Structure 1
Amino acid sequence: MGTTGRKVGRPRAEQRPDSGLSARDELLAAAAELFTTRGYAATTTRVVAERAGMRQATMYHYFRGKEDLLAELLESTVTPSLALARELLADDGRGAEERLWELCRSDVELLCGGAHNLGALYLLPEVQAERFSGFHRVRADLKEAYGRLLAATEPGRALDTCELALRTDLVFGLIEGVILIHRSDPERAVSSFAAATADAALRIAGLGEALPRTRPDE
């Protein structure tokens, strides 16, 4: 008999069509849907397990509880952008303005391009708990990368520490602010929305003259 790639654990409560996902990823997908539609507080681990086609006891083989699911979902909205930011910081072949624009655009696409608006989970009061320190640490690293790209721009070199920190806060706040905009109009085309937000971010940073002349879909 062939293997499915899933961890060995208790059998599923029911058979579902093969989604191509591991059992762990099916649980994350179920949690993402339920947390963003039903609400985090109103969603129990039993409901998550049932949505993924598993017994509740089976879910505990992969996650200790609801907080673990939320923590992993939150970090999934940040870690790809941090990896890209590090690549862009190391790329000396392009100007800092172009690299900052690309990070902004890609970050918005990550926040708004999924099946569920996971960025809305940032607003949960529970996210302030110590359990989510990993998410906050990765988010702080991403914000620092934004600041380093801003500092590498020509106007950025002339900014004092306080002014650079303010512009970083404004740019990073704009990017994360798409969470609310996307929630109000989830049908908006993500690619054009991401490019427009990146344009606005460079204008906030005082880099309007550096806006790219073409878009990724042109």
Structure 2
Amino acid sequence: MTSRVGRPRASGAMASSHDAKRAVMEAAAELFTATGYAATTTRSIAERAGLRQATLYYHFPAKEDILCALLAETVLPSLEVARSMPDAKADAATKLWALAYSDIRLLGAGRFNLGALYLLPEVASPGLASFRAERAELKAAYRALIDQIPDDAPASTRTDLAFGLVESIAIVRRDEPDLDIDAHAHHGADGVLRLAGHHTPTEHLRTAAKILVSGFAG
């Protein structure tokens, strides 16, 4: 994952600190997804980042803290979109398409396939409670939108299916490294709407949803 375009760069000591922290996270993301979380040591992360192990510990007292920071980057941007939905001037179906589309792109377009880390048993540890709470809040936002779309199936079931479809991008990306992420996000958002009970996503709806997404990005 990279910093947002247009954000002013720090200088001096602040720049060095920011760069070191970012280097640790980039190195850990590569090693966690390629070698495995359990098999990766803080020493190997520091070496890959080109830093002393003491510098790593200054920013992240434990390996789990690095995992927590990486997982936060897979959910917080989508959560920001979800939190903006109540004020958006659009119907529930359009909002749901926009949320699913942006969420799939976030999980799919990162440099490393961090969504695959969701399957780690360590995600259930007490130190990852903040990530679990953020992910639960995001899922609840999906549920709130799906609740507004009439269907015979319970909203809880539709939400489980839709949320599972969104997060399945990690498996698809693992199996198809050259996947067209934007096209997949487009079709995935269509699938989320159908699972929610909205069976005819139109081009007008998709266009309106993408306008919503661009507004959140701005």
* Structure-1 separation of matches of 2:85 and 2:38: 38
- Deviation track 1:9-65 (CA, whole Å, cap 9, x = no partner) reads xxxxxxxxxxxx621111111100110011111111011111111111111110011
Tell me whether 1:174 sits opposite 2:161 in the alignment.
Answer: no
Which AA in structure 2 matches 1:64?
A: P
- Conserved 8 A contact 2:85-2:95: yes
Q: Distance in 2 between matches of 1:115 and 1:210?
A: 30
Residue 90 of structure 2 aligns to a residue whose secondary structure is coil
Q: Is the 8 A contact 1:113 1:190 kept in 2?
A: yes
DSSP-derived class of the 1:41 partner: coil
- Given candidates 148, 162, 166, the residue that maps to 1:152 is 148
The answer as to whether partners of 2:79 and 2:138 remain within 8 angstroms in 1 is yes
Q: Distance in 2 between matches of 1:171 and 1:211?
A: 18
Alignment correspondent of 1:86:
83
Please give the alpha-carbon distance, in whole angstroms, between the structure 2 residues aligned to 1:199 and 1:189. 16
Q: Could you say which structure has the larger radius of gyration? A: 1
Given that residues 199 and 211 in structure 1 are in contact (C-alpha distance below 8 angstroms), is that contact kept between their aligned partners in structure 2? no
Equivalent position of 2:214 in the other structure: none
For residues 102-130 of structure 1, give each alpha carbon's deviation from its aligned partner in whole angstroms, at most 9, with x where no partner exists.
Answer: 10000000001011000000111111111
5+ long unaligned stretches in structure 1 = 9-20
CA-to-partner distance for each residue in 1:124-143, whole Å, 9 max, x for gaps?
11111111111100000000
Counterpart Cα distance in 2 of 1:126 and 1:178: 20
| Residue correspondence of structure 1 range 176-191 to structure 2 within 5 A | 176-191=167-182
Deviation at 1:177, TM superposition (A): 1.5
Pairs within 5 Å for 1:203-218: 203-213=194-204
Q: Partner amino acid for 1:77?
A: T
| Partners of 1:23 and 1:152 in 2: CA distance | 45
Decide whether the 8 Å contact of 1:202 with 1:211 is kept in 2.
no
Letter in 2 for 1:3: G
| SS at structure 1 position matched to 2:203 | coil
Q: Which runs of 4+ in 1 moved over 4 A?
A: 213-216
Answer whether contact 1:101 1:202 (CA < 8 A) is retained.
yes
- TM norm structure 1: 0.85
| TM-score, length-scaled by structure 2 | 0.85
* Structure 2 residue 134 is the aligned partner of structure 1 residue 132: no
Cα contact 1:71–1:135 (8 A) shared by 2: yes
Q: CA-atom RMSD, angstroms?
A: 1.9
Shift of the alpha carbon at 1:4?
4.8
Bigger helix share: 2
Residues 189/4 of structure 1: CA separation in 2 closer, same or farther (3 Å cut)? farther
Higher relative contact order (CA 8 A, sep 6+): 2
Contact 2:107 2:115 in 1 (8 A): yes
**How many pairs align?**
198
| Aligned-partner Cα distance in 1 for 2:113–2:40 | 16
Counting only pairs closer than 5 Å after superposition, residues 1-218 of structure 1 correspond to structure 2 as 3-6=12-15, 22-91=19-88, 93-153=89-149, 155=150, 163-213=154-204
